[in-house]
Copies of this chain bind each other. A is one copy, B any other.
């Protein structure tokens, strides 16, 4: 699934480092794109604001200007990571959740592949989490009432046929393109028979409405609790996993834990006409500012974004340089047991890209 590249005479990329280590790793992703720019239309970057820091300075975590420029001027974007307050703060709400909704970036695609020094053997973990990105509890419709028995809070979990079908299509397309062609639908319909039932049935209905193009895809199901259990015990059973928003959030972190570090897991938030790369890790306040954050997740997110836009060859080059950096395990950040800094790892990847 990629958008046509031919229509583009230039490539304008919004950069939203946001908070914490986002500010240290997004520059690495920018460098990687610059290193392959000979294979792209003229690239332009626009720096944009969002996040907790922006909130404390301006009173809003997602300035309307940021959204406007993304919509009007950018072809795609890279988002870093966002810090959240440890207590509820009036007026603050997560800018990444808002951006996904504003730009209708309905598919959160998270490939999780283990790194191995032995490049001849198939990786132990090689799966893609396809997470619905606009609904479920993330609609953030919450109410609080005071009753005689104390406070009562309610949140709405929304699952629509339309959103479940479109995320299902993305998942089938990804599964179809992979050797194993296996799709697991993750749900909890033994408890949520209506909402998760609708998710499951909508995804299952995709092949019948797609002229047989997904007939070779093997469809399986797994309850979310068992999915997490089996991810730990036998991750090799999974190929593509499609899930409603919250389950997708949790299983992608679970899968990430299997391959060494969240610091290597990229993602894109994709809609029909916009795509935003985003490392899966958070803002990591404990290591922010030390220059030791792993830039790999961001660099890979740039590659994933370029690939989604149709620029396969530069995306492949970036991915190869990353793999050639990881496999020998000599230039690694601390999360992977190494001693290298963000800039050393970035420089190593760039060196390979410039070869």
Which A residues form the contact surface with B (CB < 8 A)? 84, 86, 88, 93-94, 97, 137-138, 140, 142-144, 149-162, 165, 188-195, 197-198, 202, 221, 224-226, 228-233, 246, 249-250, 252-254, 256-258, 262, 282
Contact = CB atoms under 8 A, between A and B. Distances in A.
How many copies of the shown chain assemble into the complex? 2
A143 B191 contact: no
Contacts of A229: 253-254, 256-257, 262
The winner among A197, A230, A249, A257 for most chain B CB atoms within 10 A is: A257
Contact of A194 (B138, B142, B162, B249): B142
Contact of A225 (B151, B153, B250): B250
Contacts of A231: 257
A119 B115 CA distance: 35
Most buried by B among A153, A162, A224: A153
Contact of A161 (B84, B137, B152): B152
Given A97-B191, A191-B138, A232-B258, A153 B198 contact: yes
Contact of A160 (B97, B152, B226): B152
Given A88-B193, A157-B157, A229-B257, A162 B150 contact: yes
16 contacts: A137-B192, A144-B198, A150-B162, A152-B161, A153-B158, A153-B159, A154-B158, A155-B194, A155-B195, A156-B156, A156-B157, A225-B250, A229-B253, A229-B256, A229-B257, A229-B262
